[in-house]
Amino acid sequence: MQCPTSFLSLPLGLCLCAILTSGAHHAWAQTSTNYLATYEFNAYYADQVEASPSDLDVSPHQLTEADDATAGDRKPARQRPNSRVPWKRYRLTNGRNSCCRDFGWYANLQLNFLSTNLTSKIDTATSSDQLELSPRIVAGTLNCNQYGARVRYQHYDWHTNSTTTPSPSRVQFELDSLDLEVAKRLLGCHTDLDLAVGVRLAKVQEAGLQTESDANLIGVTLAADARTQLCCKTCWSWSWVYGGRLSLLDGHWNGTAHQGNGNVFVSEVYTGVEYRYCRYRRDLFARFLFEAQNWHSDAFVLNDNVTLMGPGVQFGVGF
């Protein structure tokens, strides 16, 4: 069955590749620039140099008296800082939120309200702009070297009643996905980039047009999540958040329409704004997002491309 929105899979993939390329290039440029940065100092703070009396047109006795007279008024020489201070240390006290942490445990709950393109392909009594709640739970940890691990779980269930002749039937598309990932955070001056790779476990169930199908899938998943700070004060900030994910899954399908192995390719992109507040070594944040997902497989019963998109809100805490 052809889908008029199948063209979304290519733009979603290109958008994700662009996000990965631009984000990685920006983070690498920021890191390289600041690791090689050097500090220039005024001659007033230059290192003191011992001079011998023969180099001066004064006697040793006069030099000693002048030194004793001004010893109490002399300012101490400034310590020369390390010329290779990394951003992950420097950013905490220079232009970044000094009370926020860049490592520790975190958890968040995301509530997406997603619509599907299936209603445009099946004669149903439900409007095509119906939004279904799709919760997602994320928990993870990040150490002081910016390496970590996280777990993500998402559930989506869309169903309605078809009025297709000769007899009405129940139409359903349900999926559950679990991601187990390792992650690395790249810190920049104003942009953080999280790169993750892991394993996705998914279960897909379909019903409709007098047929049923389900599969248990497993595969690899790659993700990039970026956050660019727009404005900040001591303990709060507004940021632009964006990212994407690619997953390639494989599994065995059971049902009346398809038997055997089948691949599923999943592309996801999102963008939105984030408000973060830090207090007592706790990071609280809220996000307002728009997300789009495309699940593509020739083994699907209802449609080769299942597109989910809609707004969402996310609440989280770090400690």
User: Residue 240: what pLDDT?
Assistant: 96
| 233 or 86, higher pLDDT | 233
**Closest listed residue to residue 277, CA positions, set 242, 210, 232:** 232
Q: What's the pLDDT band for 130 if we cut at 50, 70, 90?
A: confident
Q: Taking 70 as the threshold, does the pLDDT of residue 277 lie above it?
A: yes
Instruction: Determine the Cα–Cα distance for residues 145 and 104; give it in Å rounded to an integer.
Output: 11
Report the percent of the chain where pLDDT is more than 90: 41
Distance of CA 184 to the CA centre of its chain: 11
| 128 three-class SS | coil
Among the ranges given (207-221, 235-249, 284-298), the one the predictor scored with the smallest mean pLDDT: 207-221
User: Residue 84: what pLDDT?
Assistant: 45
User: Contact, 216 vs 235, CB < 8 A?
Assistant: no
Residues paired with 205 in a beta bridge: 174, 214
Q: What's the pLDDT band for 204 if we cut at 50, 70, 90?
A: very high
User: Residue 79: what pLDDT?
Assistant: 46
- Average pLDDT for 193-221: 90
Distance of CA 127 to the CA centre of its chain: 33
User: Residue 121: what pLDDT?
Assistant: 53
User: Residue 158: what pLDDT?
Assistant: 86
Instruction: Determine the Cα–Cα distance for residues 69 and 78; give it in Å rounded to an integer.
Output: 21
Q: Taking 90 as the threshold, does the pLDDT of residue 189 lie above it?
A: no
User: Residue 42: what pLDDT?
Assistant: 41
End-to-end distance of the chain based on CA atoms, in angstroms?
A: 49
User: Contact, 152 vs 110, CB < 8 A?
Assistant: no
Instruction: Determine the Cα–Cα distance for residues 50 and 261; give it in Å rounded to an integer.
Output: 81
| 68 three-class SS | helix
pLDDT in tens, 84-99: 444 444 444 444 444 4
Domain edges within the chain:
6-34+101-318
Q: Report the CATH number of the 6-34+101-318 domain.
A: 2.40.128.100
- Average pLDDT for 10-32: 56
Mean pLDDT taken over the chain? 75
User: Residue 1: what pLDDT?
Assistant: 41
Q: What's the pLDDT band for 129 if we cut at 50, 70, 90?
A: low
- Average pLDDT for 43-54: 46
**Closest listed residue to residue 145, CA positions, set 94, 92, 95, 89:** 89
Report the percent of the chain where pLDDT is more than 70: 60
Instruction: Determine the Cα–Cα distance for residues 124 and 118; give it in Å rounded to an integer.
Output: 10
Q: What's the pLDDT band for 319 if we cut at 50, 70, 90?
A: confident
User: Residue 61: what pLDDT?
Assistant: 54
| 65 or 32, higher pLDDT | 65
Q: Can you spell out the DSSP letters for 195-245?
A: EEEEEEEEEEEEEETTEEEEEEEEEEEEEEEEEEEEEE-SSEEEEEEEEEE
Instruction: Determine the Cα–Cα distance for residues 29 and 37; give it in Å rounded to an integer.
Output: 12
User: Residue 85: what pLDDT?
Assistant: 44
Cα angle vertex 14, ends 314, 276, to 5°? 25
Bridge-based pairing of strands 282-296 and 132-142 is unpaired
- Average pLDDT for 204-218: 84
| 77 or 64, higher pLDDT | 64
| 47 or 255, higher pLDDT | 255
Q: Taking 70 as the threshold, does the pLDDT of residue 169 lie above it?
A: no
- Average pLDDT for 66-75: 53
Instruction: Determine the Cα–Cα distance for residues 213 and 211; give it in Å rounded to an integer.
Output: 7
User: Residue 242: what pLDDT?
Assistant: 97
